[in-house]
Amino acid sequence: MTSPVFISINSGSHEKPLKKCSKCGEIKPFTEYHKASERKIGIKSACKVCCNYAKAKTCVKYKEKYKERSKKWGNPETTKKREQRKIKELTRSYINKLLRAQYEITTNEINKIPQLIELKKVELKNKRLCQKN
Ligand SMILES: [Zn+2]
């Protein structure tokens, strides 16, 4: 009788533990997540890129609201437009970062393929919709 063959799976201690991001769905090493001591796993559910984007977005909204209140003569129309423009810029750089990490390409290459950005946007939107249900 032949002895069973054991396949050695390379899971040495040098390998970094990986986790799937709850926002972008990318599988990233723990070092790509902010620490969260209140969580059992010790890190946030979304990666640094996603967390930073969410934080920056909240910040823009808050700032514009504050400006709107402090300037009584401020035109709400322009405030809203400025807020939307800033968020658009944030979203673009966020998607850029995700694409760069996912495909290991440069910003120049991404700009040459605008469909990539649109695809990623749709992907993220679908993800959000799925999580809501
Ligand atoms: Zn992420």
CA of 123 to the centre of ligand 1 (A): 13
106 C-alpha to center of ligand 1: Å? 18
**pLDDT value at residue 72:** 63
Question: Which DSSP string do the residues of 92-130 spell out, in sequence order?
Answer: HHHHHHHHHHHH---HHHHHH-HHHHHHHHHHHHHHHHH
8 Å CB contact between 43 and 35 = yes
Can you give the pLDDT at residue 15? Answer: 66
Rounded distance between C-alpha atoms, residue 103 and residue 110, angstroms: 10
Task: Render the burial of 17-42: b for 16+ CB within 10 Å, e for the rest.
Answer: eebebebbebebeeebbeeeeeeeee
Low-confidence ranges of the chain (pLDDT < 50): 1-13
pLDDT attached to residue 8: 39
pTM of the model: 0.72
Q: How many Å lie between the centroid of ligand 1 and the Cα of residue 24?
A: 4
Angle of the 76-103 helix axis to the 114-132 helix axis, nearest 10 = 100
CA of 73 to the centre of ligand 1 (A): 39
* Dist. CA 49 → ligand 1 center (Å): 6
**Residue range 103-123, pLDDT digits in tens:** 899 999 999 998 999 999 999
For ligand 1, the distance from its centroid to the CA atom of residue 87, given in whole angstroms, is 17
Residue burial 51-62, b: 16+ Cβ < 10 Å; e: rest: bbbeebbeebee
The neighbour count for residue 43, using CB atoms within 10 Å, is 19
Residue 78 CA to ligand 1 center (angstroms) comes to 31
Residue 21 CA to ligand 1 centre (angstroms): 5
Between the CA of 6 and the centroid of ligand 1 the distance, in Å, is 36
